């Protein structure tokens, strides 16, 4: 039900506890993000190491930050994910399943698994891209938005200063923006040519929920493109 992490950063599936990530068949959990219902295949929790709240699972599945997972355990996680997706598959109403744009293949893998189970069509997100640093500065760099507290204002100004030091053509990563101000920025934009999705229904797939800002941004961009995002599926929930 949970996961174990070795001192050498190997992640293992453990069906005897629920620490760090609940992978039990009690899932999915759900919440509303960006105006849509999002189902979480697995649920992160605060039990276990205080500095290991579930991210190591995603890191291992993506091969990030030195975390690793043996094929046997990877297969166990994905088989459990399949079981959970099958429990709500009939409720997924859409024409297409689309992963959020990512430089890693894992989000696409989850989307393709959902397509296989639901027999829905896969939609490549290559018509959406991350904004560049210069684009973010052009849109958000003139003034601090109203409604932020003093600490958030400091974080906002610090983020702008960081972008001004970066290369203008560098793509922005939402993970580099601190949580309290993520809602202030829209990191995604259309990158034509846009496929014929006007009037179509889409389900968005993400790998890890944090603030939901990336998913909300995707909903806004897809709505601009003329389609309807009916719901979302996330591999691992937020805390």
Span 81-110, pLDDT tens digits: 999 999 999 999 999 999 998 888 999 999
> What is the rounded distance in angstroms from the CA atom of residue 203 to the CA atom of residue 19?
29
Residue 67 lies in a domain: yes
pLDDT band at 49 (very low <50, low <70, confident <90, very high): low
Residues 24, 111 within the same domain: yes
Q: 32-48 pLDDT, tens per residue? A: 998 999 999 999 887 76
In a domain, 182, yes or no: no
Tell me the C-alpha to C-alpha distance, in Å, between residue 238 and each of 121, 179, 185.
27, 12, 19
> Does 138 fall in a domain?
yes
Residues near 137 by Cβ (< 8 Å), separated by ≥ 6?
A: 160, 163, 164, 168
84 shares its domain with 21: yes
| Same-domain check for residues 82 and 37 | yes
Could you tell me if 120 and 146 lie in one domain?
no
How many distinct structural domains can be found in the chain?
2
Looking at the fold, whether 116 and 140 belong to one and the same domain comes out as no
CATH number of residue 24's parent domain: 3.40.50.2020
Query: Does residue 184 fall inside a structural domain?
Result: no
Judge if 83 and 166 occupy the same domain: no
Q: Does 183 reside within a domain?
A: no
Instruction: Please tell me whether residues 148 and 39 are part of one structural domain.
Output: no
| C-alpha distances out from residue 220 to 39, 128, 223, Å | 19, 11, 5
Length of the chain: 239
Same domain as 12, residue 88: yes
Whether 37 and 80 map to the same domain: the answer is yes
Shared-domain flag, residues 92 and 168: no
Per-residue pLDDT tens over the stretch 149-208: 999 999 999 999 999 999 999 999 888 899 899 989 999 999 878 999 999 999 999 998
Q: For residue 163, is it within any domain?
A: yes
CA distances from 124 to 33, 47, 54, 99, 107 (A): 22, 36, 27, 7, 11
Q: What is the pTM for the complete model shown?
A: 0.89
Do 108 and 226 have their domain in common?
A: yes
Q: Which residue has the higher pLDDT, 47 or 78?
A: 78
* One domain for residues 152 and 139: yes
Residue 64 belongs to some domain of the structure: yes
28 in a domain, yes or no?
A: yes
Range of the domain at 156: 132-177
């Amino acid at each position: 039900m949970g996961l174990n992490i070795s001192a050498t950063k190997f992640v293992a599936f453990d069906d005897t506890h629920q620490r760090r990530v609940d992978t039990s068949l009690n899932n999915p959990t759900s919440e509303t993000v960006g105006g849509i219902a999002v189902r979480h295949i697995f649920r992160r929790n605060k039990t276990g190491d205080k500095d290991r709240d579930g991210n190591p699972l995603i890191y291992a599945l993506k091969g990030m930050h030195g975390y690793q997972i043996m094929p046997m355990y990877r297969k166990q996680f994905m088989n459990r994910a399949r079981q959970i997706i099958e429990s709500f598959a009939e409720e997924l109403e859409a024409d297409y399943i689309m992963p959020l744009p990512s430089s890693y293949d894992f989000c696409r893998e989850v989307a393709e698994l959902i397509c296989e189970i639901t027999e829905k069509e896969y939609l490549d997100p290559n018509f959406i891209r991350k904004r560049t640093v210069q684009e973010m500065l052009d849109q958000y760099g003139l003034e601090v938005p109203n409604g932020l507290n003093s600490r958030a204002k400091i974080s906002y100004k610090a983020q702008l200063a960081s972008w001004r030091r970066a290369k203008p053509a560098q793509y922005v990563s939402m993970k580099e923006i601190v949580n309290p101000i993520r809602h202030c920025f829209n990191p995604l934009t259309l990158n034509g040519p846009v496929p014929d999705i006007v009037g179509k229904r889409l389900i968005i797939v993400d790998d890890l929920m944090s603030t939901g800002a990336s998913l909300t941004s995707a909903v806004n961009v897809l709505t601009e493109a003329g389609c309807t995002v009916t719901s979302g599926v996330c591999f691992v929930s937020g805390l």
